[in-house]
Amino acid sequence: MNVGLKTQIIPAGKAAVAAAARALAEGGLVAFPTETVYGLGADATNAAAIARLYQAKGRPAFNPLIAHIGDRAAARRIARFDAQATALAEAFWPGPLTLVLPKTQNCPVADLATAGLDTVAIRIPAHPLAREILRAFGGAVVAPSANLSGHVSPTTAAHVQGDLSGRIDLIVDGGAVAVGVESTIVGCFDEPMLLRPGGLPRAEIERVLGRALKQPPSDAESDNGRPLAPGMLASHYAPRAKVRLQASSIAPGEALLAFGLGAISGIDGASMVMNLSERGDLDEAAANLFGHLRALDSKGAHTIAVMPIPDEGLGEAINDRLRRAAVGRE
């Protein structure tokens, strides 16, 4: 177990980029900000580094990783693009979209990172610091969210530190991220499929494709029994507290996670109140979601009652993460 490492924290800047690139080249584990959430990076070609990454997160190795690359030429060395995948990459990269594509014959990404699948998940992140690190390192970097497996994803360097200090080599602190929920994942199969709602709204993708995205089967298994989205375990984004959804009133002592300024009965008896977005803005709510869940949790909330959130735009990703947070705890 790689507990007991001395985890360095370096603020964004030239020195941080150089240290990150060096650590990745040496097989180290480096947390860095992307526009969606903080990622925990390792050299995508280095199986030993990837094994340490799974261990540091406590993540089951059957759950494959996203390869982050700097440009589309690098993407084409890793995966095969059909016309639809090309259209999506051109429209949305760099940005919060991950494409699941067939691997190339000489795909450099280690088999351990793709969990033995013949597909690979890739994206070009938009965060300037992530892009500089990828450029300085010069290769693909696999990066899951930089949290312990099962926890909510980190949106600040302090969240990463709370989960992974002593288990990884370096944290590059680039401040709070902009989007706040993970990338949208589209499986580029015969019919493109929404494997995970995320930071890029479904409607924008469907506009470019000129068709609706397919929904994965509810058991998330394809006909040959292979998982389509292996990481979409029901209970995944789990705070310690119980999470109660679609709350229309607050029971005494419950914590309230509010959205907008609508009235809700029982609010005077709430143990604490945090608002995802007072002005009812779904982008702002996404940026606040994981930070607010962590804050309510660390202040000892036993139940978090969540007001209804519209299922449009980033609301689809917010509601997906909240449903997972609530599983087994209602």
Nearest in space to 309 (alpha carbons), one of 297, 328, 292: 292
Report the sign of the C-alpha dihedral through residues 91, 216, 311, 143, in that order.
negative
42 binds ligand TXA (CB under 6 A): no
Taking CB under 6 A as the criterion, the residue among 46, 119, 156, 277 binding ligand TXA is 119
Cβ distance to ligand TXA smaller for residue 197 or 315: 197
Cα gap 167→211, rounded to integer Å: 44
The verdict on 195 binding ligand TXA (CB under 6 A) reads yes
Paired tokens of 232: 């979409």
Q: Does 229 bind ligand TXA (CB under 6 A)?
A: yes
Using the rule CB under 5 A, give the single segment among 138-146, 278-286, 289-297, 309-317 that binds Mg ion.
Answer: 138-146
Per-residue binder mask for ligand TXA (CB under 6 A), 90-109, x = binder: --------x-x---------
**Measured distance CA(280)–CA(106) in Å, rounded:** 48
- Distance between CA atoms of residues 323 and 309, nearest Å: 12
For residues 255 and 270, the answer to whether their CB atoms sit within 8 Å is yes
What are the tokens at 40?
């925990």
Residue 66 interface partner, choices ligand TXA, Mg ion, none, CB cut-off 5-8 Å depending on type: ligand TXA
Among 155, 161, 183, 303, binds ligand TXA (CB under 6 A): 183
Q: From the CB of 14, what's the least distance to ligand TXA, in Å?
A: 22
> What is the distance between the alpha carbons of residues 142 and 165, in angstroms, rounded to a whole number?
19
Does position 193 interact with ligand TXA (CB under 6 A)? The reply is no
Give percent helix, percent strand, percent coil of the chain, each to the nearest 5.
30, 20, 50
Residue 36 contacts residue 188 (beta carbons within 8 Å): no
Residue number, nearest CB to ligand TXA:
231
| Type of residue at 302 | H
User: Taking CB under 6 A as the rule, does residue 148 contact ligand TXA?
Assistant: no
CB 218 within 8 A of CB 232: no
Longest dimension (CA), the chain: 62
Query: What is the per-residue binding string for Mg ion in 140-159, x denoting contact by CB under 5 A?
Result: -----x--------------
Residue (192 or 231) nearer to ligand TXA, CB = 231
- Smallest gap from Cβ 220 to ligand TXA, in A, equals 9
Q: Is 36 in the site for Mg ion (CB under 5 A)?
A: no
Per-position b or e across 29-63, b if 16+ CB within 10 A of its CB: bbbbbbbbbbbbbbbbbbeebbbbbbebbebeeeb
d(CA 93, CA 205): 12
Q: Interface mask (CB under 6 A) for ligand TXA, residues 248-287, using x and -?
A: ----------------------------------------
Asked if 174 is part of the footprint of ligand TXA (rule: CB under 6 A), the reply reads no
Select 114 or 288, whichever has its Cβ closest to ligand TXA.
Answer: 114
Q: Which residues bind ligand TXA (CB under 6 A)?
A: 34, 36-37, 39, 63-66, 98, 100, 114, 117, 119-121, 125, 143-145, 182-183, 185, 195, 229-232
Q: Which residues bind Mg ion (CB under 5 A)?
A: 145
